[in-house]
């Protein structure tokens, strides 16, 4: 059932909650190993996910599935994307890492057309083009060759890997949503991430201090609620129609860099912001189709 307005609203909410998660992750990245951060994020994300399932009367009955293989593939892509995105956050500031992540909507829209037979309308192509151009404007000053920091360059590379993995994971969410509970999709992803994180235990974890522990727990809660909102968004709206609104997720980390991390707004940000918002507005201006537009592959 397609309800574009609800799906778009849920995706925007997911972006705000996701920004809170990334801010918490960035704050602890120098003090806590990557695998431990992923574990805390995943473990405490279970709390909102289980509450979500309980409210919907889907716990534990809603966890049953006839597509374990699809869940495994989606969870593997998602877990790898989570690890790589947190690794990028550790090497870049929040806004830079999210900038790189905004390549995933472009990849997702293309994959949706190829794998789910969703249509790339003129409105969506226009919205994607404006949004992508805004991302290029924002990230270009960081890629002009003036920096020789190899760790930051690796951060960009791992960020690109995360964007590709995220696009594949989101396409799998859209496919699974036809038959599976959104809560079950999210829960299996969290469990896969926890298992992957536990495998890093032999490389050494640390005992977090009080404030660090609060941030780690908050990352999990923000991430859990963000994942629920995102999963529900893909139930109500096509992946390619949601894609331009992925760019709105750029605003929250940029504001966090200014007001929390005390960084100045760049000229690139001032130029790119109207482009990104215009892309979202163009995509939203598309009139809903009444028939025949969505014919997913079986």
For the stretch 136-183, pLDDT in tens is: 787 777 666 555 566 777 887 898 899 889 988 888 887 787 788 777
**Spatial distance between the Cα atoms of 217 and 246, rounded to a whole number of angstroms:** 25
- The pLDDT value recorded for residue 286 is 60
Q: What pLDDT, on a 0 to 100 scale, did the predictor assign at position 30?
A: 92
Q: How many folded domains does the chain comprise?
A: 1
Within-domain flag for 183: yes
Q: For residue 233, tell me if it sits in a domain.
A: yes
Q: What is the pLDDT of residue 240?
A: 67
Rounded-to-integer distance, Cα 79 and Cα 169, Å: 9
Is residue 122 included in any domain, yes or no?
yes
Query: Which one is predicted more confidently, 14 or 145?
Result: 14
pLDDT tens digits, one per residue of 63-107: 878 888 889 999 999 999 999 999 999 988 888 788 777 777 667
- CA–centroid distance for 38 within its chain: 14
DSSP result, 105-168: HHHHHHHHHHHS-----HHHHHHHHHHHHHHHHHHGGGGSS----HHHHHHHHHHHHHHHHHHH
Given a cut of 80, is residue 119 above it in pLDDT?
no
Examine residue 19 and state whether it is found in any structural domain, yes or no: yes
Residue 213 lies in a domain: yes
Indicate whether 76 belongs to any domain: yes
Categorize the per-residue pLDDT at 53 as very low, low, confident or very high, splitting at 50, 70 and 90: confident
Query: What pLDDT is attached to residue 77?
Result: 94
Residue 38 predicted with pLDDT over 70? yes
In a domain, 32, yes or no: yes
| Structural domain of 233 | 4-284
Percent of the chain with pLDDT over 90: 29
In the predicted structure, residue 60 carries a pLDDT above the cut 90:
no
- Helices in the chain by DSSP H: which ranges? 4-28, 34-55, 68-91, 94-101, 103-115, 122-139, 150-176, 182-198, 210-236, 239-242, 251-259, 267-284
pLDDT score of 200 more than 90: yes
pLDDT value for 33: 97
Note the pLDDT of residue 144: 63
Closest CA to 103 of 146, 62, 132, 63: 132
Contact 194, 15 (CB under 8 A): no
- Residue 298: per-residue pLDDT: 31
Query: Has residue 144 been placed in a domain?
Result: yes
CA distance 236 to 10: 9
How much is the pLDDT for 296? 31
Mean pLDDT of the chain: 81
């Amino acid at each position: 059932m397609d309800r574009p307005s609800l799906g778009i609203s849920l995706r925007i909410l997911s972006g705000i909650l996701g920004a809170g998660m990334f801010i918490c992750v960035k704050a602890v990245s120098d003090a806590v190993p990557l695998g431990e951060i992923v574990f805390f994020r995943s473990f405490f994300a279970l709390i909102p996910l289980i509450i979500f399932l309980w409210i919907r009367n889907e716990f534990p009955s809603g966890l049953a599935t006839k597509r374990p293989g699809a869940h495994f593939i989606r969870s593997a892509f998602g877990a790898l994307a989570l690890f790589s995105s947190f690794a990028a956050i550790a090497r870049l500031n929040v806004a830079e890492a999210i900038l790189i992540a905004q390549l995933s909507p472009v990849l997702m829209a293309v994959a949706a057309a190829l794998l789910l037979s969703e249509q790339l309308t003129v409105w969506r192509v226009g919205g994607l083009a404006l949004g992508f151009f805004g991302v290029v404007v924002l990230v270009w000053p960081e890629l002009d060759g003036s920096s020789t920091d190899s760790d930051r360059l690796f951060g960009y590379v791992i960020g690109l890997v995360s964007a590709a993995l995220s696009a594949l994971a989101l396409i799998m969410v859209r496919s699974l949503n036809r038959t599976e509970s959104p809560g079950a999709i999210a829960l299996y992803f969290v469990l896969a991430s926890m298992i992957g994180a536990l495998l890093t235990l032999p490389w050494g974890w640390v005992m977090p201090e009080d404030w660090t522990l609060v941030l780690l727990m908050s990352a999990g809660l923000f991430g859990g609620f963000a994942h629920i909102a995102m999963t529900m968004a893909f139930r109500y709206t096509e992946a390619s129609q949601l894609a331009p609104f992925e760019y709105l997720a750029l605003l929250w980390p940029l504001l966090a860099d200014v007001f929390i991390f005390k960084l100045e707004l760049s000229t690139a940000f001032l130029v790119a912001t109207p482009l990104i918002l215009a892309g979202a507005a163009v995509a939203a201006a598309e009139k809903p189709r009444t028939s025949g537009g969505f014919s997913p592959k079986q």
